[in-house]
Structure 1
Amino acid sequence: MITKMNHVSIFVLDQDSAYDFYVNKLGFKVHTDASMGPGMRWLTVCPPEQPELEISLMAIQEGMMFKGEAAAQMRELVKNGTFGFGVFQCNDLNATYEELKAKGVVFKKPPTKEFYGYEALFADDSGNWFSLGEKKEG
């Protein structure tokens, strides 16, 4: 029986830039930053209140995972915002929205009440987009 997920990947165009975005703008903590041989890096971050979930910031490059043109195609999908998506939550959406905007996070949609909750949409520096929702009480 599967009991939980502990790693998930977000494909990024540049790991150094992604490091800056996820750590310095979103406030995530670095869990692992290690070389895996020439030109390869294992970089994982986690939300401060969820250290058991490591988010691997995976560089899109030709090699073991992507062969031939697949790397270029994947970079285009991510860059155009057509591949990555995730949902994050916070305790105070308005305050978090203002804090992240001040740090340079680009929002596609400001905090808006929807039938399913209160959310804002933003993109990372690679083109992946995310919903940021306010945690419901109860």
Structure 2
Amino acid sequence: MTDTAAAQHIPGVGTVYLTVSDQARSLAFYRDKLGFEVRTDAGVGGGFRWIEVAPVGAYTVIALVPPMSDEDPQPGGRAPFGFDTPNLEAAMAEFSSRGVEFEDMRGGDGAPMPPMAYFRDPDGNRIALVEETAR
């Protein structure tokens, strides 16, 4: 299969999974503090709730899922994804005004690193926010 053929079958990343302990609390954070769209919020049987959120207009959605077993990732680790922003300063100012706290990773040892910061969701999941223009 050529690279072009593969690209036709997989045009992008559709869903990433983030383990959370309280789906309602996480939904409120991503919707109300980060301004994400709620794409899906439905019961799917057996008391399980399927929730997908995404930045407005984004292709990829984030499924906010509880751990199903002890073998699943547990809430509170480093998220397996990060978010891009065209302006880190403006994003940090806006989200900080909504109560989001940041660990600023800019400056320091002179390593060639894009401007970035980390924030934590209500479960302590650590998520990167990276200025996309620096890449």
Q: TM-score over 0.5 for the alignment?
A: yes
The structure where strand makes up a greater share of residues is 1
Distance 2:17 2:57 in 1: 18
The equivalent position to 2:16 in structure 1, one of 2, 8, 17, is 8
1:59 aligns with 2:59: no
Percent identity, aligned pairs only, is 31
The equivalent position to 1:110 in structure 2, one of 95, 104, 107, is 104
- Cross-structure match for 1:91: 86
Give unmatched runs, 5+ long, in structure 2.
Answer: 1-5
Q: How many residues align?
A: 124
Distance 2:16 2:80 in 1: 12
- Cross-structure match for 1:37: 45
Relative to the length of structure 1, the TM-score reads: 0.79
The equivalent position to 2:32 in structure 1, one of 24, 31, 43, is 24
- Cross-structure match for 2:3: none
Alignment CA distance shift 1:128-1:94 (3 Å): same
**Alpha carbons 1:122, 1:131 under 8 Å: kept:** yes
**Alpha-carbon RMSD:** 2.2
Distance 1:92 1:33 in 2: 30
**CA shift for structure 1 position 21:** 0.7
Matching residue's letter, 2:97: A
Distance 2:73 2:81 in 1: 17
- Cross-structure match for 1:120: 117
Alignment CA distance shift 1:85-1:6 (3 Å): closer
